[in-house]
Structure 1
Amino acid sequence: MKPIVVIVGPTASGKTDLSIKIAKKFNGECINADSTQIFKGTDIATNKISIEEMQGIKHHMISIKEVNENYSVAEFQKEARVIIDNLLKEDIMPIVVGGTGLYINALIMNYNFNNKDHINNYSEQFSNLDNESLWKVLYKIDEKEANKIHPNNRYRVLRALEINELNSRNKSSIIKDNKSYYYKNIIIIGLDPIRNELYDKINDRVLNLIEKGLFEEIIEAYEKCSKNELSQALKCIGGPEIIKYINNQISYPESIELMQKNNRHYARRQLTWFKNQLKDVNWFEYTYDDFENICEKILLFLKNKLLD
């Protein structure tokens, strides 16, 4: 039976390009594990792979929800595992690709959820609290998790509180206790580009997405979400910053600078998560000029793994 290949790394590290090469080489199909690419209507913002870029490789878990809908990590775990099981039965290599650490962990580790994974209208009970006060509520319950989240990231604070409520235990302890693999045959590839090159790549990507129509896309999605700033789909890079711009909270140049800054910070958080939360990752460091050579080394690495 073929292994499950998992590709992790920061945004703009080349995960998508590598996944296509692996799929073509080893008869694989790709499974998206990026929480923002689950939604329709934010294709530019999430740098979603195009039909042409797929090169005939089948992709799963992309654009399966409307932009104004919600989607939980428990739903992702359940649906993605069904896909993996079906692919393995057909002797097709599942290639999990994405930068959302919680999605990766929930999928490949023994990560258990309460029978309920969402409380209807949970956020309403905290509507009278500002962001700082809400964060302090989480800090009292789960200091470790609170220290990972900026007080202004109200969505993540609320989600951590909700997980605590559903499971009668805090999120950090749940993560700690779910360290064993759900699947037996997993190969995890980690992409780790040189930092200054990564940050330059991120800055350039933001400008490129703007040229493609990023502002227009977010504004349209924002309207479809009834101008709900907490909409899950609008948590993508560009969403919060552009919403601030159209609400006259920041200027156009400030929104671009903030997008670049937040995207760089997000990349750092991704690397920290994967290096701290995942074990047995085969990390590959590289410069972007050497990316094609690194891909060849990874393909050879996987070929040798298959022969073991």
Structure 2
Amino acid sequence: MVKVLVTGSAGFIGFHLCRRLLEEGFDVVGYDAMTDYYDVSLKRRRHAMLLQSARFKATEARLEDMAALTRVFIDERPDVVVHLAAQAGVRYSIENPRSYLESNLVGTFNVLECAREFTIGHLLMASTSSVYGASTTMPYSEKHQTDHPLTFYAATKKSTEIMAHSYSHLWNLPTTMFRFFTVYGPWGRPDMALYKFVRGIFEGTAIDIYNHGEMYRDFTYVADLVHAIRLLIDAVPARTDDPTNVPEWDTLSPSAPFRVVNIGNSDTVKLTDFIDAIEDECGRKAIRNYLEMQKGDVPATWADATQLRELTGYAPSTPVREGVRAFVNWYRDYFGT
């Protein structure tokens, strides 16, 4: 049986991925630092659910702790690594950039070193749509220029892509980077817009709406995202001898078994329409506090998922109202609202 190491296993996406892999019969090794960026009890609840499976085990340690990470690789010998752990949040990176340097750059370097030393069959790593910066060329294609990040968070994620390509080239390490687009759904993070909007509506407090609601996002439902990752595990990049034979849609590197893949819904939804859907599911209106654009934010995101579809035969498609309904139902159940 294939064994998968998932970093960030107690996180929002990591939890859903681990659960999906366990349902399919994989052995899963979780690795999470349980940092206090948001409510740790939520992370512990996620891990507790995963630990109900005999095929899941977990280590609590930081990726910056190279000795702890190496010990897991020695003891578990994973076949595949899905590196999701990171300091997340665009806005928090303006307040506390050092945490992004340590978690995203040093932590990812340690993962790359272990993947190299233990000859991992496929390394998959999370990046972000934020690397596209303020580009107005949409939908975003993986081949678009990404050299002008607007936040330090985006800069660290772009840096991990470059770091990973160098390791892939030097050590023939099959690597897939995926760029996520505004992921949402049950068990989401409290700092994410959907969570904050639902909480504000139920608590009767104002919700902040930036750029006066003139924002558009490619909202990607978490189950769709996880399904895409699961399929990409099997789409292992191979070094090409003839780059001219690589299809136009493929980002396979001419010098490494490495590619970058967008995972998004290939649609844009206006923020105010998103809030309308939340209000409908909550059965009450939000108190809307319209504000100017925040520093480092962008007015729109939109994914071109052509490559994902060509590689896997799949592309996310869950309608926003369906995904919002699932989150609100989870929120009601979790908090007894």
Higher RCO (CA 8 Å, separation ≥ 6 residues) = 1
Structure richer in helix, relative to its length: 1
- TM-score, structure 2 as length reference: 0.33
Structure richer in strand, relative to its length: 2
